[in-house]
């Protein structure tokens, strides 16, 4: 038995068109590899799309790829994730399933005592028994797990796969300390493979009766920090029990970190320049992080345009910077102006959440609302369609 | 229409006149002699009221003895006659001839619905009567109530709930002392149950008997508010206790392992050179700039491997216990975050060797204390007080342990109150805890203690004068306790009830987003 395990594709996720394209390329590359490897089936552990109702371009690309997979006779099994889940069922995943392009395995029935009894979806070719639980915003799926009837799942014979889209407390990486996570004990034990998603890390662990708990990592890094940490996307191919992480290096990542402590803007500039010169930037995503407090001058004095120009002159694919922790003693306000827009938004939301004692979920909701509202009309999309798409997306978000 | 207050008071006085149990006939301050009215049995520990013109004197029986109008010679003669001749023989009026005397101590003076220390004596021949709930209406529920039990007068229980200010009491440490079987676990369960959904306090329980989580599971807020860690096969919702070895630092071992100076230096040298991977560096015998004796490094390596349950097999580090090289990277911060949110964290330490339990407790306590030290006063007020429950407390706070050097728990005992971090120490042997530590514990809940030295240790360090209470403490039955605290107006006798903890009825869960199949 040979199968692929993808997760967190976040198609349509990046605002910058170039990075959105890179994300798309990465997804295509993953599908291409799955076809080349002749896998028996493909698992997608949540967040195929970045929203429940993705833009036309994203949808077209996903359908195109899934159709190619279907035509080759490879079934795709999926669960909804925290981004593409919809309580009302108005999600594009549903459309894909109805079109026969993928099968949602998070299905079951409610028992008389208010438990959820999940059903297995049996892969015809291999006989693998697949089931799973969707992911929801703010880890709200945890309450479903508490109501999960586990006995029949655990006693079912055969090769079993459990798909999930949740962070697990026991396996949470250090840098995601603040992330909500649930206890591993809420999942049914004794499966042969736990196909995880939601946490953007590359990991494979076994804890007690839970073996092969695998997070394949996102198909493409989802933010600045992930570009730094992961460099590229990845997925997993499991060949007769052998778990192999497959990298998806659509663009090389060049990550530059500059310590600006006690330096001048000119010195910072020259340090960045040196790094840009030293590295091969051809087709690369260049991530420049500057941190520390300047001796004199302001972060705004750094001539970023020139630096970006230099990088693009060296054929960089995309250049981005993070100056979140780049400050000067005199003008701290400038730092906020200079930082990446999304990060400023998040930081402001978090500050206000502290003041008004909002829950973490509200911050997440606000982030998602802002993201949805900043969506632009797609090529060829009618005003009325765009409006209705926006309405439906907001309906979904506001539940 | 409201009645005339004076008439009401007179009515009340008339009602209570038949509650007279005795008359003050002498003694001194703190040792008032009362003659018991015939047919009114006074009990050790019973609370009495002496009504005075300005208010009421709250008294408590601490000793009982016989009194008689007859000389010892006459008493012996009468007893002889009764035994050998006629049992019905009486000399003088039986009610007047012999009686019971009681010694009472002053607990408080109640005036205008407030209690203050007693500074005067009631007049001679003042009647003393049984206490009623209305007498102690000054016992009110504080702002941050921690329910301890109901007020007790001897063996009688009054419908007066006794709560203490939980924020103050928990940050200034609590000791629960009592012999096995006297109700320590019931009390602890009640306290945890009461605090589970209160946001002013967070509890960290190192549970060597693995008893509390199961009891708390019926609580309606257990799922959200109780976090449970156990090394093996956790129940649904419980977490597998795994701690990444990168989270350990050398000082976490204080109190868990007695290192020699050279060994300590070696630990620090490894930590400074290899930071998060220092334990692996010790085990894999990586090089150090500083030179250490081969034997020292071998002992350090062996001790760490044994304590942490690590092994090396063909270059691979195998983890046999709770310490892991992959999993559990956020366990300690997760626990501390839960505590910061006012949750109760219970760690099943039943399968641990004592020093592993201390090590885990030490890691958490260090992080809690460090985080609290960074808070401003305002932040501190908005955060819950964190209380660390230590069963069999002398294991970490014992004289012999602290002689080997301080640990994080003795630090918390000394200065935790400043940072809103407190200890809740449970023991049957309080005498093993040094006096200065006991003195720092401002609230003591004393259950029955049979051993005299243990009673003495408690009495000597109590917030109120318990010097005459030794007999009372010895006679405390299961569930009966005396609470002495800086945050109570007097040492309160309480009854700890086995509270009825019924399972909550949960609302039906809906399963939005799940594909519902037609029943198979």
| Residue where a domain terminates, one of B299, B323, B347 | B323
CB contact (8 A) between residue A172 and residue B334: yes
Q: Where are the alpha helices (DSSP H) in B341-415?
A: 354-373, 377-382, 394-397, 399-403, 408-415
Average per-residue pLDDT in chain B? 88
ipTM computed for the complex: 0.77
| Residue where a domain terminates, one of B136, B168, B203 | B136
On the question of pLDDT at A42 being above 60, the answer is: yes
* Confidence class for position A265, pLDDT limits 50, 70, 90: very high
Q: How many domains does chain B have?
A: 3
pLDDT in tens, A215-252: 999 999 999 999 999 999 999 999 999 999 999 999 99
Instruction: Work out the minimum CA distance from B215 to partner chain A, whole angstroms.
Output: 18
On the question of pLDDT at A357 being above 70, the answer is: no
Tokens of A172: 């949470």
Q: Do both B31 and B108 map to the same domain?
A: yes
Q: Which residues of B touch A397 (CB under 8 A)?
A: none
Residue B12's pLDDT is 58
| Mean pLDDT of the region B306-335 | 90
Q: Do both B172 and B282 map to the same domain?
A: no
| Mean pLDDT of the region A2-18 | 93
pTM: 0.83
Average per-residue pLDDT in chain A? 89
Strand partners, A77: A43, A103
> Which residue among A146, A171, A177 places its CB closest to the CB of B236?
A146
Please list the residue range(s) of chain A that carry CATH number 3.60.21.10.
2-248
How far are the Cα atoms of A71, A76, A102, B37 from residue A68, in angstroms, in the given order?
Answer: 5, 11, 12, 100
Residue A360's pLDDT is 54
Query: Taking an 8 Å Cβ-Cβ cutoff, which residues of chain B contact chain A?
Result: 223, 232-240, 242, 244, 246, 326-331, 333-334, 337, 508-509, 511-520
Domain A2-248 fold = Purple Acid Phosphatase; chain A, domain 2 (3.60.21)
Q: Do both B154 and B300 map to the same domain?
A: no
Sequence-distant (6+) residues with CB within 8 A of A259 are: A291, A292
Residue B299 located in a structural domain: yes
| Mean pLDDT of the region B164-174 | 95
Burial of A277 (C-beta count, 10 Å sphere; 0-12/13-18/19+): exposed
Instruction: Work out the minimum CA distance from A282 to partner chain B, whole angstroms.
Output: 35
Q: Which residue of B has its CA nearest to A94?
A: B515
Q: Do both B229 and B163 map to the same domain?
A: yes
DSSP class of residue B419 equals G
Instruction: Report d(CA B225, CA B116) in Å as an integer.
Output: 38
Residue A204's pLDDT is 87
Q: Do both B214 and B356 map to the same domain?
A: yes
pLDDT in tens, B53-78: 888 999 999 999 999 888 888 888 88
pLDDT in tens, A76-133: 999 999 998 887 777 889 899 999 999 999 999 999 888 999 999 999 999 999 999 9
Q: Which residue has the higher pLDDT, A329 or A199?
A: A199
On the question of pLDDT at B2 being above 50, the answer is: no
> Which residue among B331, B333, B517 places its CB closest to the CB of A108?
B517
Q: Do both B122 and B28 map to the same domain?
A: yes
Q: Do both B114 and B159 map to the same domain?
A: no
Residue B479's pLDDT is 92
| Residue where a domain terminates, one of B109, B136, B163 | B136
Residue B229's pLDDT is 96
* Confidence class for position A334, pLDDT limits 50, 70, 90: very low
Residue B460 located in a structural domain: yes
* Confidence class for position A338, pLDDT limits 50, 70, 90: very low
Least confident of A247-256, A379-388, B208-217: A379-388
Q: Which residue has the higher pLDDT, B6 or B103?
A: B103
* Confidence class for position B6, pLDDT limits 50, 70, 90: low
On the question of pLDDT at B406 being above 90, the answer is: no
Q: What's the domain range around B58? A: 5-136
8 Å CB contact between B412 and B439: no
Residue A40's pLDDT is 97
> Which residue among B234, B329, B514 places its CB closest to the CB of A185?
B234
Instruction: Work out the minimum CA distance from B511 to partner chain A, whole angstroms.
Output: 7
* Confidence class for position B160, pLDDT limits 50, 70, 90: very high
pLDDT in tens, B112-146: 888 888 888 999 999 999 999 989 888 888 889 99
Q: Do both B269 and B319 map to the same domain?
A: yes
Q: Which of A313-317, B88-92, B131-135 has the highest mean pLDDT?
A: A313-317
pLDDT in tens, B341-388: 999 999 999 988 878 988 999 999 999 999 999 998 888 888 999 999
């Amino acid at each position: 038995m040979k199968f692929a395990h993808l997760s967190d594709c976040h198609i349509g996720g990046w605002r910058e068109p170039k990075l959105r394209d890179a994300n798309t390329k990465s997804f295509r590359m993953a599908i291409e590899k799955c076809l080349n490897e002749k896998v028996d089936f493909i698992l997608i552990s949540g967040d195929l799309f970045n929203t429940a109702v993705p833009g036309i371009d994203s949808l077209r690309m996903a359908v195109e790829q899934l159709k190619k997979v279907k035509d080759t006779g490879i079934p795709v099994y999926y669960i909804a994730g925290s981004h593409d889940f919809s309580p009302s069922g108005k999600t594009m995943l549903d459309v894909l399933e109805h079109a026969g392009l993928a099968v949602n395995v998070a299905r079951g029935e409610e028992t008389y005592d208010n438990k959820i009894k999940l059903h297995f979806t049996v892969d015809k070719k291999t006989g693998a028994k697949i089931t799973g639980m969707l992911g929801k915003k703010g880890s709200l799926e945890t309450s479903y797990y508490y109501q999960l009837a586990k006995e029949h799942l655990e006693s079912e014979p055969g090769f079993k796969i459990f798909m999930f889209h949740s962070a697990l407390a026991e396996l949470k990486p250090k840098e995601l300390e603040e992330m909500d996570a649930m206890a591993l004990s809420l999942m049914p034990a004794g499966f042969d493979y736990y196909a995880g998603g939601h946490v953007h890390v590359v990991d494979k662990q076994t804890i007690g009766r839970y073996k092969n708990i695998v997070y394949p990592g996102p198909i493409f890094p989802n933010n600045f920090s992930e570009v730094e940490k992961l460099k590229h996307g990845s997925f997993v191919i499991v060949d007769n029990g052998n778990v192999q992480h497959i990298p998806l290096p659509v663009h090389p990542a060049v990550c530059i970190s500059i310590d600006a402590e006690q330096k001048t803007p000119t010195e910072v500039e020259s340090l960045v320049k040196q790094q840009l010169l030293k590295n091969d930037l051809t087709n690369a995503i260049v991530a420049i992080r500057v941190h520390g407090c300047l001796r004199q001058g302001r972060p705004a004095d750094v001539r970023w345009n020139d630096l970006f120009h230099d990088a693009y002159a060296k054929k960089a694919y995309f250049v981005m910077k993070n100056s979140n922790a780049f400050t000067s003693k005199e003008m701290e306000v400038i730092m906020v102006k200079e930082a990446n827009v999304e990060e400023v938004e998040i930081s402001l939301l978090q500050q206000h959440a502290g003041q008004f004692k909002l829950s973490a979920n509200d911050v997440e909701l606000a982030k998602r609302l802002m993201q949805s509202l900043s969506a632009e009309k797609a090529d060829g999309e009618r005003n009325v369609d765009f409006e209705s798409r926006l309405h439906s997306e907001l309906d979904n978000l506001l539940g | 229409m409201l009645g005339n207050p004076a008439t009401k008071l007179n009515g009340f006085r008339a009602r209570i006149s038949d509650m007279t149990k005795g008359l003050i006939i002498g003694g001194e301050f703190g040792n008032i002699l009362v003659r018991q009215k015939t047919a009114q049995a006074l009990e050790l520990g019973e609370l009495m009221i002496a009504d005075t013109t300005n208010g009421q004197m709250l008294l408590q029986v601490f000793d009982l003895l016989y009194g008689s109008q007859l000389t010892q010679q006459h008493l012996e003669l009468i007893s002889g006659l009764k035994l050998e001749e006629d049992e019905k023989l009486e000399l003088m009026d039986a009610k007047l001839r012999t009686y019971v005397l009681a010694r009472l101590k002053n607990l408080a003076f109640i005036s205008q619905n407030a209690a203050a220390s007693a500074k005067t004596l009631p007049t001679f021949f003042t009647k003393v009567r049984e206490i009623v709930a209305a007498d102690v209406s000054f016992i009110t529920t504080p702002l941050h109530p921690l329910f301890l039990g109901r007020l007790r007068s001897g063996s009688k229980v009054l419908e007066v709930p006794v709560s203490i200010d939980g924020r103050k009491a928990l940050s200034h440490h609590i000791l629960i002392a009592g012999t096995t079987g006297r109700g320590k676990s019931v009390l602890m369960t009640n306290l945890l149950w009461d605090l589970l959904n209160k946001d002013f306090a967070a509890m960290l329980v190192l549970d060597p008997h693995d008893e509390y989580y199961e009891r708390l599971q019926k609580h309606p807020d257990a799922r959200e508010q109780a976090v449970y860690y156990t090394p093996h096969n956790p129940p649904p919702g419980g977490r597998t206790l795994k701690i990444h070895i990168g989270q350990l630092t050398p000082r976490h071992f204080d109190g868990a392992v007695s290192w020699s100076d050279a060994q300590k230096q070696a630990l620090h040298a490894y930590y400074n050179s290899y930071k998060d991977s220092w334990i692996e560096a010790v085990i894999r015998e990586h090089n150090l700039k500083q030179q250490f004796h081969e034997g020292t490094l071998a002992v350090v390596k062996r001790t760490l491997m044994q304590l942490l349950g690590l092994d090396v097999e063909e270059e691979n580090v195998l983890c046999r216990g709770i310490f892991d090289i992959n999993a559990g990277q956020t366990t300690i911060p997760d626990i501390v975050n839960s505590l910061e949110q006012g949750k109760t964290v219970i760690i099943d330490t039943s399968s641990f060797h004592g020093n592993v339990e201390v090590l885990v407790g030490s890691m958490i306590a260090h992080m809690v204390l460090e985080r609290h030290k960074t808070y401003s006063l305002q932040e501190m007020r908005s955060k819950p007080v964190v209380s660390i429950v230590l069963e069999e407390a002398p294991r970490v706070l014992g004289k012999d342990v602290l002689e080997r050097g301080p640990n994080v728990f003795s630090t918390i005992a000394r200065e935790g109150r400043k940072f809103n971090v407190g200890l809740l120490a449970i023991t049957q042997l309080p005498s093993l805890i040094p006096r200065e530590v006991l003195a720092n514990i401002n609230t003591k809940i004393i259950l029955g203690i049979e051993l005299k030295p243990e009673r003495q240790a408690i009495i000597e360090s109590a917030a109120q004068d318990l010097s005459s209470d030794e007999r009372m403490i010895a006679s405390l039955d299961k569930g009966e306790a005396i609470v002495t605290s800086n945050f109570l107006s007097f040492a309160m006798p309480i009854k700890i009830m086995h509270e009825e903890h019924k399972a909550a009825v949960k609302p039906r869960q809906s399963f939005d987003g799940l594909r519902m199949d037609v029943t198979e």
